[in-house]
Amino acid sequence: MKLLVNFSRGKGRKPIIAQVVRDTGVLINVERANIDSSEGEALIDVPDDQCQLVRDSMTSLGARVRLLDRGISYNESECVDCGACISVCPREVFSFDPAWKLRHEEEKCILCGKCIDACPHRALTLPL
Ligand code: SF4
Ligand code: SF4
């Protein structure tokens, strides 16, 4: 399951993900991370049956954790069918239909985030 983790980096800069791996023994796959000197956001993938354990452990360390149980959100009204998302998506979530309109298969999405930055019209966002 995908978890979106937000944390601040105070004095001491605790390596939260590393600490949770050590404390729980769960192997965490980091899909993407944006971390600067004051805060961080990471999208992680954990086994379904250990999701709650990881979530509780991260929360106890001060992180905010949100379960992402849907694929990328697609706002059709903002889309101009440019195809930029097709070329960057590693899971072939997007394709053109015979009329060159964008087709979107959300169930294939692994929430890697690559299409969000590629879209010039901000038609793609993380699910709420
Ligand atoms: S988040 Fe990644 S897998 Fe999902 S649609 Fe975008 S590029 Fe494809
Ligand atoms: S990159 Fe954005 S505007 Fe272009 S086809 Fe994909 S969703 Fe539509």
The helix/strand/coil state of 21 is helix
Give the range of the structural domain holding residue 8, as residue numbers without chain letter. 2-68
- If one counts the domains in the chain, the total is 2
- Reported as a pLDDT band with limits 50, 70 and 90, residue 11 is low
Q: Which pTM was predicted?
A: 0.70
Residue 108: CATH number of its domain: 3.30.70.20
Please tell me if the CB atom of residue 31 comes closer than 6 angstroms to any atom of ligand 2. Answer: no
* Whether the Cβ atoms of residue 54 and residue 20 lie closer than 8 Å to each other: yes
Q: What is the pLDDT of residues 69-102, one digit of tens each?
A: 899 999 999 999 999 999 999 999 999 999 999 9
Q: Based on the domain organization, do 90 and 61 belong to the same domain?
A: no
Query: What is the Å distance from ligand 2's center to 58 Cα?
Result: 34
* Whether the Cβ atoms of residue 116 and residue 68 lie closer than 8 Å to each other: no
Residue 26: CATH number of its domain: 3.30.70.260
- The residues lining ligand 1, judged by C-beta closer than 6 Å to any ligand atom, are 71-72, 88-91, 93, 109-115
